[in-house]
Amino acid sequence: ILNVEQSPQSLHVQEGDSTNFTCSFPSSNFYALHWYRWETAKSPEALFVMTLNGDEKKKGRISATLNTKEGYSYLYIKGSQPEDSATYLCALDSNYQLIWGAGTKLIIKP
């Protein structure tokens, strides 16, 4: 059974600072790893899909890497802005289902 852990559970970051958080998994027995961004009272928004060891994806100030051999993915945010405040979740795509971590709640302090 795949188990997805995310750390930290929450994070307070000063506006303008860069930050990163982790998604870890014990097995690489999945098809893809997804990162989602979820703002309060909105729908989860897909950020990245990664499938291969060493994958790196970037969208604006946000980027992600995948290391299936060591069992982790990092999400990086450069120069945090207030609009980056949200919960960031990773999910493993395995056998037609997404297996989710509990998320990292990011709060940007102005």
Partner 1 sequence: DAGVTQSPTHLIKTRGQQVTLRCSPKSGHDTVSWYQQALGQGPQFIFQYYEEEERQRGNFPDRFSGHQFPNYSSELNVNALLLGDSALYLCASSLVVGEQETQYFGPGTRLLVL
Q: Residues with Cβ < 8 Å from 5, sequence gap 6 or more?
A: 23, 24, 25, 101
Nearer to partner 1, 41 or 69 (CB): 41
Stretch that binds partner 1, among 14-22, 34-42, 61-69, 72-80 (CB under 8 A): 34-42
Tokens of 58: 């970037």
Angle (CA) 73 91 40, round 5°: 105
Stretch that binds partner 1, among 12-20, 56-64, 74-82, 97-105 (CB under 8 A): 97-105
Nearer to partner 1, 49 or 78 (CB): 49
Longest pairwise C-alpha distance within the chain: 42
Contact positions toward partner 1, by CB under 8 A?
Answer: 4, 32, 34, 36, 41-46, 49, 51, 89, 91, 93, 95-103
